[in-house]
């Protein structure tokens, strides 16, 4: 019989700089200790890093709710740093109502319509990078690309978009503890919240863009006009920093695996699986939480109502129980079932856009660049949730 006393306890702080820099030994230890563990520095939560349990928790929204926050803070006990997201930090039926609208706006059909523009921007940017020869993979490619194409698609004006970077950093840091990373993010916020909220207003959004389409749903009575800017905010919080780091991590993976890049160069149609495998191998969003909505269990281990459950997405995506040779970045793998984009009812609503961005950037590289060489040491940008790079010096060898 299991009781809470039998849960293994490990002395890891997932938010300590050394764990954020290299989380993989910790993931291994958490997975091997058991399906559910406790972490000494955070005695009120339980954590899972095996694929089976992470997947099960994410797919059980009745027992494991999002409305009390999807970070460390339990909104039942402490207020969130900003008004709660109407979709990410919500449960059915409200979640379903919001999700229906955003899924429609970001449907496969809508994504087909933006494809040509996204591809043309990727080709132009890769050409500029190639002309430079040696680039910073983050500042010259992974960052400017989503910062251009995604706000363009939402319909946000070009001026001041750098605020989106500061905001994204803050949102994802706020899902961890009140540590130095959060304090530094908060100190940079200055006018950012005001800018974000102003740019969620209809008057700032290009008619017909993804943002304006949310207001059209309000015009049709599907949501209120007060809810509309909050849903635009979801696009702006969740759609930029995530893809920047998804692309950055993919460049990192390819630069460090020249044989895999050679396969991609030989067959650019591998761009999509190469991006997908990068999401698995180096998960952009490392962690998301749920809260037990009632007394429940994970793998037979009792979990009391209101307990925070830390899901290590990055750990699940390298679980040897699920993936053969999980540490290997292998573009021939079809990593179906990875949880880098979540799973279940909250699974990333922007995933078609994220995949499109990954695919068109890697295709443009594959066609024009024979080899990507590491041109110097990279540096990491530590964030409480995101696996992010600050700099990534690369040399692009033309085809
Ligand atoms: C590589 C890029 C991306 C990654 C790794 C990523 C990751 C995720 C993950 C893991 C979740 C699930 C959160 C949870 O279960 O609590 C999620 C949800 C979400 N994502 Fe993404 N995302 C990416 C790109 C995008 C883009 C481009 C958009 C906007 C178009 C977006 C908008 C959202 C929204 C609104 C949610 C909440 C969905 C819900 O609660 O139903 N994401 N994302």
What averages of pLDDT result for each successive group of 10 residues across the chain (399 residues)?
70 98 98 98 98 98 98 95 94 98 96 97 98 97 98 96 96 97 96 95 97 98 97 95 98 98 98 98 98 98 98 98 98 97 98 98 98 98 98 98
For 325, phi and psi rounded to 5 degrees?
50, 60
Structure tokens at 264: 């991609």
Give the span between the Cα atoms of 288 and 297, in whole angstroms: 18
Distance (Å) from CA 231 to ligand 1 centroid: 13
User: What was the pLDDT predicted at 2?
Assistant: 44
Q: Atom 3 of ligand 1 has which residue's CA nearest to it?
A: 242
User: What was the pLDDT predicted at 5?
Assistant: 54
For 87, phi and psi rounded to 5 degrees?
-120, -55
Cα diameter, the chain: 65
- Which residue ranges have their beta carbon within 6 Å of ligand 1? 58, 66, 70, 87-88, 99, 102, 106, 234-235, 238-239, 242-243, 246, 284-285, 288, 340-342, 346, 348-350, 353-354
Distance (Å) from CA 373 to ligand 1 centroid: 30
Q: Atom 23 of ligand 1 has which residue's CA nearest to it?
A: 242
Distance (Å) from CA 351 to ligand 1 centroid: 7
Give the span between the Cα atoms of 351 and 237, in whole angstroms: 14
* Residue spans of beta strands (DSSP E) within the chain: 9-10, 37-39, 42-48, 64-65, 134-136, 287-292, 296-298, 301-303, 308-312, 369-374, 379-382, 387-391, 393-398
Distance (Å) from CA 113 to ligand 1 centroid: 20
Contacting residues for 331 by C-beta, under 8 A, at least 6 apart: 260, 263, 264, 270, 273, 274, 277
CA 209 to chain centroid, in Å, comes to 22
The domain that holds 279 is classified in CATH as 1.10.630.10
- Assess contact for 45 and 72: CB atoms under 8 A: yes
Q: Atom 31 of ligand 1 has which residue's CA nearest to it?
A: 350
Nearest ligand 1 atom to the CA of 89 is: 40
pTM value > 0.85: yes
User: What was the pLDDT predicted at 82?
Assistant: 85
Q: Atom 36 of ligand 1 has which residue's CA nearest to it?
A: 348
Distance (Å) from CA 349 to ligand 1 centroid: 6
Distance (Å) from CA 340 to ligand 1 centroid: 9
User: What was the pLDDT predicted at 3?
Assistant: 45
- Of 288, 268, 286, 287, nearest in space to 358 by CA: 268
- Of 119, 129, 199, nearest in space to 159 by CA: 199
DSSP 344: G
Count of domains forming the chain: 1
Distance (Å) from CA 286 to ligand 1 centroid: 12
Task: Report how far apart, in Å, the C-alpha atoms of 375 and of each of 36, 337, 360, 371 are.
Answer: 41, 34, 24, 12
Of the residues 147, 167, 209, 242, which should be mutated to test ligand 1's pocket, given the most ligand atoms within 8 Å of the CB? 242
How many Å from the N-terminal Cα to the C-terminal Cα in the chain? 62
Nearest ligand 1 atom to the CA of 66 is: 16
- Assess contact for 53 and 156: CB atoms under 8 A: no
| Structural domain boundaries enclosing 77 | 4-398
User: What was the pLDDT predicted at 1?
Assistant: 39
Of the residues 97, 350, 357, 383, which should be mutated to test ligand 1's pocket, given the most ligand atoms within 8 Å of the CB? 350
User: What was the pLDDT predicted at 111?
Assistant: 95
Distance (Å) from CA 370 to ligand 1 centroid: 32
Of the residues 238, 283, 385, which should be mutated to test ligand 1's pocket, given the most ligand atoms within 8 Å of the CB? 238
Nearest ligand 1 atom to the CA of 245 is: 1
Classify strands 37-39 and 9-10 as parallel, antiparallel or unpaired: parallel
């Amino acid at each position: 019989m299991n009781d809470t006393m039998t849960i293994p306890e490990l002395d890891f702080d997932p938010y300590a700089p050394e764990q954020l820099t290299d989380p993989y030994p910790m993931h291994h230890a958490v997975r091997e200790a058991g399906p559910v563990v406790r972490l000494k520095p955070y005695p009120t939560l339980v954590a899972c890093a095996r694929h089976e349990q992470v997947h099960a928790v994410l797919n059980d929204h009745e027992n494991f709710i999002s409305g009390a926050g999807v970070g460390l803070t339990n909104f039942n006990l402490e207020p969130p740093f900003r008004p709660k997201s109407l979709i990410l930090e919500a449960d059915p039926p409200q979640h379903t109502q919001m999700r229906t609208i955003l899924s429609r706006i970001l449907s496969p059909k809508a994504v087909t319509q933006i494809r040509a523009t996204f591809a043309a921007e990727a080709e132009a940017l890769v050409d500029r990078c190639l002309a430079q020869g040696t680039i910073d993979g983050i500042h010259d490619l992974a960052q400017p690309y989503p910062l251009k194409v995604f706000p363009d698609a939402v319909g946000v004006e070009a001026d001041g978009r750098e605020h989106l970077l500061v905001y994204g950093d803050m949102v994802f840091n706020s899902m961890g503890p009140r540590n130095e990373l959060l304090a530094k993010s908060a100190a940079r916020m200055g006018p950012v919240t005001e800018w974000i909220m102003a740019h969620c207003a209809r008057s700032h959004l290009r008619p017909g863009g993804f943002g304006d389409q949310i207001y059209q749903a309000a015009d049709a009575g599907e949501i209120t006009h007060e809810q509309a800017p909050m849903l635009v905010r979801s696009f702006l919080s969740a759609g930029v920093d995530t893809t920047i780091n998804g692309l950055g991590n993919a460049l990192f993976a390819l630069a460090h695996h020249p044989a895999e890049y050679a396969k991609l160069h030989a067959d650019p149609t591998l761009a999509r699986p190469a991006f997908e495998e990068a999401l698995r191998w180096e998960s952009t969003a490392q962690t998301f939480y749920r809260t037990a909505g009632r007394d429940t269990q994970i793998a037979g281990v009792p979990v009391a109502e209101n307990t925070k459950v830390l899901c290590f997405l990055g750990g699940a995506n390298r679980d040897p129980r699920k993936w053969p040779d999980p540490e290997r970045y292998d573009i021939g793998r079809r990593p179906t079932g990875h949880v880098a984009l979540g799973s279940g009812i909250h699974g990333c609503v922007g995933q078609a856009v994220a995949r499109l961005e990954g695919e068109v950037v890697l295709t443009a590289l594959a066609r024009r660049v024979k080899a990507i060489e590491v041109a110097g040491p990279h540096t990491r940008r530590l964030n409480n949730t995101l696996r992010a790079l600050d700099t990534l010096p690369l040399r692009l060898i033309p085809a």
